[in-house]
Structure 1
């Protein structure tokens, strides 16, 4: 193996993430690659709904702003970009990126769209058992909005081999955005399970961006994190054997240490000994974590074994409506008046024939999150009543907010600041398909 090292940065950990830390990395991080991870479970379903309204839409809403800021710096510093911002429409995203590159004068900029994750036609044509609830895909009927398979690195690696400066995917396994450039750069074989396992660990540590630098970690007086308002995003220096040293820009806020890495390593992991990915079953149980210097963490020792024969598919489907209403009470007896308000609305909804088992009644600050028991000695000066529930019909959902609003003159004294909303519910179910039923394809657009 070569002594060459690859530096990969994290540019986003979710669709609405900040842009500035990614630009700082592009400017000052001496990167080879920067990956933006922007898809959550339901994001692609929302994107598919947007594409139904506009056939040229369906990609990440921040793609334009991100890439207008990132492309000139990435081009100047020779950094290749990888992202799942393609969401429900990677080809439209690639064309939009090409248009942006032309407007910025970046002649010859090559953007690749990785296609093949959209398996909606397959799911609608056949019947697949669901793995996270009872029933099959056919039970979801016409409510299905999208179905996308979690692809691995193959399409991204092909795009990089074709000289893409920017690679935009739809649904892929999150760590694959970071694993793919390692496979490309180091020539790792598709059955080099241990290196693929180690590369998956690297990707998992980077995929949530700011979390590795102390975001979602800070707990004042217990786990203090400096300068969170200027939180930076991490990068990893990766060797050909898959070992990596993680760091951040010296000028960036936050911190990287063994504790932040351990928390992120276990984040959203069901079984650390068997982290199922499209490319490998990764095993994190043998990982070694060391701190060679301040804000540097060396990670090694992840392994892997043969990849699964199946791919996970996320099926997004419409599942009724959510109605919500909120109202505030303040002063002496605020909590008691809030409790009376919830009792009134509960009874009113029952009078209308609603199933209140699907309605949640909260006093924010008392029982909205910690439901073990309300603190009897707690006499807050103010409470916010929040009542929200699901209904099969829009009218049923709207009734919840309407009953909360009616508390103005039909409830306890002093209620104010009512808000109400109704929205469609986009739910997610999962199934497995034979991996050969998904066919990654690459299309290149040139500015």
Structure 2
């Protein structure tokens, strides 16, 4: 289309396509966590800066940005880890350009009958890269105190004139380029097909094939991801509280340990699960339990990081006041801390659920016929050239994810805040 009007774009296959796809896929994780943090800032701090004569830009960089820095760096860390261990995008559009996860996968499959030594070496390199970034993020977050009393919540201001126009152009431009590939997928999901070949016209053949031929695949995706998220939300909240509130050697060790699932690609984690749970006394290979366990292990850091980031903005004096008034620590946590953490818990749970629904890199090694999920079926369909079926399944994933986020946003934010800040 662009070539017809004289515009030659570089090919999407290769490193440029990987970077572009990762950027459009992962930027919402930082924006969601940052939005939640922005809605918990004590606006009296910004008002004090403006009363002292600081302009809005100066207030933003001197007051607002430092207060949300834990959430920004926490989100950036999650995005870095996801990009570092991403398997599906490089495998599909990377062409002959290998990244560490796809290299580990290729090395393992080529050494399947031998000891996968080279795949383990690549995994160690990934772990070293991730460890450096984790230490850097912890150093940046620990330089200042970010907590406030949360007495005066921020008030949304309406911008007017040229600022409003530029803001709308920027925001809608980003959303347009992010959703354009998704619109193409939805379009082709309704195209008439004959096997792997698209024909003129539209039909529901691709959807009919999904619900009549592989309904178990759709059910598995929902069942496994929801079960995992319930466990993630509960355990992640408790661990986030420990990391944010406790200062000892054990916690300093626990924090980086929780990020280990991001240090290794999902393919390597899948290999480890096969080796660990393929012989007595615990045999989980070929069962739904091993896939749910994979979701839980890989996505737990979302909940932990999100809860810990919010807790760093909640002054411990609020909890101490409750305890000093005679409330037991458990009751203080339930009645004071937990409601204030609600935004972080919800955002972490939603990110965990969305990414669990789309998990591919580990589950592609762990599934059997009865435990196949939608991402696995999509990957197989693309590899076999059945883009109609792949587009239809991708559309289902897009639809249920969008509906879930819309319901949470509508229910918790009452039309005025982002859903993660409710």
Q: State TM-score, norm by structure 1.
A: 0.24
Q: Which has the higher contact order (CA 8 A, sep 6+)?
A: 2
| Structure showing greater Rg | 1
The structure in which a higher percent of residues are helix is 2
Higher strand share: 1
